[in-house]
Chain A
Amino acid sequence: MTAMTLAGTGADPRRRLKVLASQEALLAIAVIGLAIAVGLYNPRFLAARNLADVLLGNAYIAVAAVGMSMVIVSGNIDISVGALIGVLATFSGTLAVNGAPIVVAWLAALVAGVVVMALQGVIIAYLRIPAIVVTLGMLSILKGGLISVTGGKWITDLPDSFHLADIELFGLLPFPVFLMILVTILAALWMRYSASGRAIYAVGGNAEAARLCGISQPRTIVMVFALHGLFAGAAALLYATQLRVIQSTVPPNLELTIITASVVGGVSILGGVGTVVGSTLAAVLIAEIASALVFIDVSPYWIRAVQGVLILVTVIADILRRRRMAGA
């Protein structure tokens, strides 16, 4: 893995922690700063209702980005996740309209997500095929399969109880936002403090050193993909239950938005570095920018360009940081 030569070995861990903290702090400042700036232009932007809607409508991206961040930290990538979310949403909705108990319809999406992703993890880890190739293949299979099976027919008449995203905890906190926060905190703690969580950084940062420490690289990669499948399933449920209609198509460019959230969140595309707190903050920032563009009367098509700039700036900063560390 290319990460091996660049990352891990020479870096001072305290210094790296400081840099990471600043990435997340930077994002938090950007989220708040942007809100204030747009609020000055149009105070309605700061209305609690609008801020809640920004989080509510995009929480599924943050949830999927948690899994994506794990995958990228482990030194891999997954471009099939957008297609998988489309398939899982359709799968769960189809079960629900055909009379399956709602809980079964929900669980089915999670289980299917884990199965599909773990399968990809096995192919990547044990057959040693690069993740980009495996997930590109899966992307085509899922996309083509979905259209072939459904014929693009929408799912309507979903039972009311199916709509997980409509639940408000304590009559206040929307479930998608709650799930986003919960998943982020749990994943962050697990990745930071547990042995299996640390193993993801070890495998992505320096595979050879990880092996010498007794960490099984293939097993770690399969575990990461299985978890990523679980989060993709959860994201698919939020995505599917937000509206009364499931489109039975793959949401356009969703995987790019999810990868962007991870990368802008400070997850190094070379592996070994990054946190899910960063990716969640980045997902919030991207959603906030999309809403802000409407509030300041700019075409939302600029969101793609803005995302592109964010990616380039973060990746260049990451590479420069690594070069400096490697040289030090």
Chain B
Amino acid sequence: MKLGLAAAFLGATLLAGTASAADKRWDGADDLPVNPLACSAGEANAAPAAKPYDGGKPANATDKAGKSITLVDVPKLIGIGYFNATSKGMQEAAKALGNVTVKTDGPTEAKIDEQIKFIDNYITSGVDGILFAANDPVAIAPVLKKALSKGIHVVGYDANSSPDAREWFVNQAEFNGIAKSMVDSMAKEAGEDKSFAIVTSTFTTPNQARWIAEMWAYAQKCHPKLKWLETVEAQEDNNLSFNQATTLINKHGDKLAGLFGMTSVATPASAEAVTKAKLCGKVAVVGLATPNAMKPYVNADCVKSVVLWNPVDLGYAATYVMRAVVDGSLKPGATSVDAGKLGKLNVVNGSEILLGSPFIFTKQNIKDFDF
């Protein structure tokens, strides 16, 4: 039945004769507008339409510009490698700044009700600022607004809240930034004129669909000879991802020079499929993944680039942003903020600070991360 539909669609397309293959987005991409970045670092990026500041504002905050401040960091949960890394970055920033004390405390499970209790307790005990990574963007808003109403500064990182419940949010990566890193890595590893396939969760998963759309747009612009073969769905299932990647390898044979893994499940499973097929070095695997799951493949030289962001830098940036807010150097309408060793970070989407280009884990640096 599906075949019949596909044939009918193909026939209709041929009859129409106008839609060229290049105009059609890859399967799994959404239909939202795309904004591909410049091909080389030197060129200027097209500026997205400026959006006015939409963050909140603390009521009658005590002016502590230049004075020492005490912060609390309440991540989604504590005790896991990822938030240990953000916490480490905050301590590094506190040390570099010299006038910030930051303590990480939070639930041991990623539960929003627990997280709200922790934040509420710190509002009562009194801190100058709260850093958070929300377990739920909407449910966390009331307690954050309460903090603002008590004159406490609020900055988010990693997982956002409704914008008006915090002042700024440090955004670890934008879709077009991830897309550029992924496609550039693939073109470099597989070859500019080679073919690749994509393993994603489902065609309608919002983040993955956004990334694929931006990857398509960036590839059209900067790597036009790179050829997309197909996208397969594998949900967030380890074994299904492995089976799907294996099927792609068997189906396309020598034609397949690369696999994109769009989830932290699909990427290690694709790498495993390539390893089992003894095609390391012949089929490049590029994808989003966490370092621990990828270490075996990166250390075995089967995978060269794992795209994500650096959570240590994320925590570091969040602390610098908080300091800048307290000092008054980051105000609504600002276009950038100074973040110590990370340099100047840009303001995007009204009240977000972009961490910068995604981080690429390689054989050299992957051992430094544990999450």
What is the minimal beta-carbon distance from A59 to any residue of chain B, in angstroms? Answer: 11
Bound Cα distance from A49 to B246, whole angstroms: 10
Chain A residues whose CB sits within 8 angstroms of the CB of B80 once the complex forms: 151, 153
B77 adjacent to chain A (CB < 8 Å): yes
What is the minimal beta-carbon distance from B81 to any residue of chain A, in angstroms? Answer: 9
B244 engages A151 (CB within 8 Å) = no
B242 engages A294 (CB within 8 Å) = no
A178 adjacent to chain B (CB < 8 Å): no
Chain A residues whose CB sits within 8 angstroms of the CB of B234 once the complex forms: 300
Bound Cα distance from A252 to B241, whole angstroms: 12
Interface size class of A (residues with CB under 8 A): 35 or more
Chain A residues whose CB sits within 8 angstroms of the CB of B246 once the complex forms: 53, 57
A299 interface neighbour in B233, B236, B293, Cβ under 8 Å: B233
Chain A residues whose CB sits within 8 angstroms of the CB of B108 once the complex forms: 151
B233 interface neighbour in A287, A297, A301, Cβ under 8 Å: A301
A208 adjacent to chain B (CB < 8 Å): no
B239 engages A243 (CB within 8 Å) = yes
Chain B residues whose CB sits within 8 angstroms of the CB of A49 once the complex forms: 250, 277
What is the minimal beta-carbon distance from A22 to any residue of chain B, in angstroms? Answer: 28
Bound Cα distance from A53 to B80, whole angstroms: 35
B251 engages A252 (CB within 8 Å) = no
**Given A243-B272, A298-B3, residue A44 in contact with residue B293 (CB < 8 A):** no
B2 adjacent to chain A (CB < 8 Å): yes
Bound Cα distance from A151 to B246, whole angstroms: 30
What is the minimal beta-carbon distance from B278 to any residue of chain A, in angstroms? Answer: 10
What is the minimal beta-carbon distance from A307 to any residue of chain B, in angstroms? Answer: 14
A239 engages B239 (CB within 8 Å) = yes
Complex interface residues of chain A between 273 and 328 (CB less than 8 A to chain B): 287, 290-291, 294-302
B247 engages A154 (CB within 8 Å) = no
A197 adjacent to chain B (CB < 8 Å): no
Complex interface residues of chain A between 15 and 51 (CB less than 8 A to chain B): 42, 44-45, 47, 49-50
**Given A295-B251, A297-B230, A302-B2, residue A57 in contact with residue B268 (CB < 8 A):** no
What is the minimal beta-carbon distance from A212 to any residue of chain B, in angstroms? Answer: 46
- Where chain A touches its partner, the secondary structure class is loop
- Where chain B touches its partner, the secondary structure class is helix
Chain B residues whose CB sits within 8 angstroms of the CB of A80 once the complex forms: none
Chain B residues whose CB sits within 8 angstroms of the CB of A60 once the complex forms: 239
Chain A residues whose CB sits within 8 angstroms of the CB of B233 once the complex forms: 299-301
A156 adjacent to chain B (CB < 8 Å): yes
B235 adjacent to chain A (CB < 8 Å): yes
B251 engages A300 (CB within 8 Å) = no
A154 engages B292 (CB within 8 Å) = yes
Bound Cα distance from A96 to B233, whole angstroms: 31
B205 adjacent to chain A (CB < 8 Å): no
What is the minimal beta-carbon distance from A158 to any residue of chain B, in angstroms? Answer: 9
Chain A residues whose CB sits within 8 angstroms of the CB of B79 once the complex forms: 151
A57 engages B243 (CB within 8 Å) = yes
B348 adjacent to chain A (CB < 8 Å): no
B238 engages A44 (CB within 8 Å) = no
Chain B residues whose CB sits within 8 angstroms of the CB of A287 once the complex forms: 243
A242 adjacent to chain B (CB < 8 Å): yes
Complex interface residues of chain A between 146 and 166 (CB less than 8 A to chain B): 148, 151, 153-154, 156-157
What is the minimal beta-carbon distance from B98 to any residue of chain A, in angstroms? Answer: 35
**Given A151-B109, A247-B238, residue A291 in contact with residue B247 (CB < 8 A):** yes
B265 adjacent to chain A (CB < 8 Å): yes
B253 adjacent to chain A (CB < 8 Å): yes
Bound Cα distance from A56 to B109, whole angstroms: 36
A42 engages B251 (CB within 8 Å) = yes
Chain B residues whose CB sits within 8 angstroms of the CB of A132 once the complex forms: none
Chain A residues whose CB sits within 8 angstroms of the CB of B248 once the complex forms: 294
Chain A residues whose CB sits within 8 angstroms of the CB of B235 once the complex forms: 252
Interface set of B (CB-CB < 8 Å, partner A): 2-3, 6, 77, 79-80, 108-110, 202-203, 230, 232-239, 242-244, 246-248, 250-251, 253, 265, 268-269, 272, 277, 290, 292-293, 295-297
What are 10 pairs between A and B in contact, CB < 8 Å? A45-B250, A57-B242, A151-B77, A151-B110, A239-B239, A244-B293, A245-B238, A247-B265, A251-B237, A252-B235
Interface set of A (CB-CB < 8 Å, partner B): 42, 44-45, 47, 49-50, 53, 57-58, 60, 148, 151, 153-154, 156-157, 239, 242-245, 247, 251-252, 287, 290-291, 294-302
* Other A-B pairs, 4, CB within 8 Å; known A244-B297, A247-B265, A294-B251: A49-B277, A50-B250, A299-B233, A302-B2
